[in-house]
Chains A and B, each alone.
Chain A
């Protein structure tokens, strides 16, 4: 990557924190309840760790310098059974470990717009400057 970038180039790294899972909440009417966790597939977690290791090695080697980093919440709201099933079918999505009754309750109330499933992760955006 270092050689692909122009001398003034920059690298923006976007990675979830932690990489292993996202939190799942259910909104039933006005009530928001923690339902569980939505894990990621092992290959995707391995990719993220490999990326971090590679970036760390590149910084240690003097190829890049960390200029700035920001953490923020990245949130997805699912308000239909179909969209939630599509989420679970994503090849990068792993096991759902969650309160099944809460999920079923959300399914029952979704057609009336009274429920949604909310998936949240902390994301880190880090900017690296190309050196050399």
Chain B
């Protein structure tokens, strides 16, 4: 293996200790390559993950299950309805 991430497995349990993602509608800002997204996506009801970096989002799209969404956008440029998400995740940027 060429790259091992978080070999002590600390990040995933920390996230899940703080939030129960099961059945939740999640909106993630700054998803990058999906490094954080995949840690909860399987539990969530829906995931909308955005990032302004095209290359990063392509990597995220390849890493995520098909039913989840990763898109390239500036969060200030999108028009989303009120009160549609249970959880917002800021993964390293805004």
Contacts and interface: CB of A to CB of B under 8 A. Distances in A.
Interface residues of A, number: 42
B81 to A, nearest CB: 8
Interface string A73-99: 111111110110011000110000000
A9 B86 contact: yes
B18 A51 contact: no
Nearest to B21: A12
B14 interface: yes
A7 interface: yes
Interface residues of B, number: 37
Contacts of A4: 27, 80, 82-85, 88
Interface in A29-88: 44, 47-48, 50-51, 54-55, 68, 70, 72-80, 82-83, 86-87
Nearest to B10: A72
B10 A13 contact: no
A92 B35 CA distance: 14
A12 B18 contact: yes
A72 B11 contact: yes
Given A4-B80, A4-B88, A11-B88, A76 B14 contact: no
B79 to A, nearest CB: 11
Given A73-B10, A77-B3, A125 B90 contact: no
A101 interface: no
A73 B1 CA distance: 21
A48 B90 CA distance: 10
Nearest to B17: A70
Nearest to A43: B93
| 4 cross-chain pairs, A with B, having the tightest CB-CB distances, nearest first | A51-B94, A83-B2, A47-B93, A80-B2
